[in-house]
């Protein structure tokens, strides 16, 4: 019985450690600039699309731009943001844009995506949310 349980746990650990594809995955921000994203904040996310496009939300405004990877190197560019009047109590948009501007390296392990700067400081952590679309009305 223990052998069966150990084998099952080993297989489930292997399944979790398989990275999700960057493209087509809804990546919800759970940490920005070293701070946990509070649960009460409107969802901050990125959706990395084919052909080097990225879109998402900073919790209020829509975000769109370009990205390119080369191994673990990553660059985000031409990031455009809508300018809606947001009256939410917590504004993490500056931390998201800082992460996109300074991102130098990207890692995707299991359900986690992390962005690092050129000094290898972690800028942001995202969690893959299965079955989530880029519909701005979803939370």
- 36-84 pLDDT, tens digit per residue, is 999 888 899 999 988 899 999 998 899 999 999 999 999 999 999 998 8
Residues listed for the chain: 139
pLDDT of residue 9: 40
Q: Does residue 69 sit in helix, strand or coil?
A: strand
> Is-above-0.85 flag for pTM?
no
Q: How far apart are the first and last CA of the chain?
A: 41
* pLDDT of residue 14 exceeding 70: no
Domain ranges of the chain: 20-128
Alpha carbon distance 11, 16 (integer Å): 9
pLDDT of residue 131: 80
pLDDT band, residue 18 (cuts 50/70/90): low
Write the CB contacts of 128 (distance below 8 Å, at least 6 apart in sequence): 20, 25, 26, 27, 28, 111, 112, 113
pLDDT of residue 102: 97
97 by Cβ neighbours in 10 Å (0-12 / 13-18 / 19+) ranks as middle
pLDDT band, residue 90 (cuts 50/70/90): low
Distances from the Cα of 121 to the Cαs of 7, 30, 31, 49, in angstroms? Answer: 36, 16, 13, 25
Architecture, CATH, for domain 20-128: Beta Barrel (2.40)
């Amino acid at each position: 019985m223990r052998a069966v349980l150990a084998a099952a746990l080993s297989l489930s650990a292997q399944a979790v450690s398989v990275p999700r594809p960057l493209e087509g995955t809804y990546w919800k921000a759970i940490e920005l600039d070293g701070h946990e994203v509070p649960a009460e904040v409107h969802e901050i996310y990125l959706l990395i699309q084919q052909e080097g496009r990225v879109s998402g939300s900073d919790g209020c405004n829509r975000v769109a731009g370009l990205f390119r990877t080369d191994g673990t190197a990553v660059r985000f560019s031409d990031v455009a943001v809508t300018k809606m009047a947001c009256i939410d109590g917590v504004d993490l948009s500056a931390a998201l844009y800082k992460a996109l501007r300074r991102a130098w390296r990207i890692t995707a392990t299991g359900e986690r995506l992390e962005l690092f700067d050129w000094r290898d400081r972690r800028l942001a952590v995202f969690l893959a949310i299965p079955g989530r679309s880029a519909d701005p009305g979803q939370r």
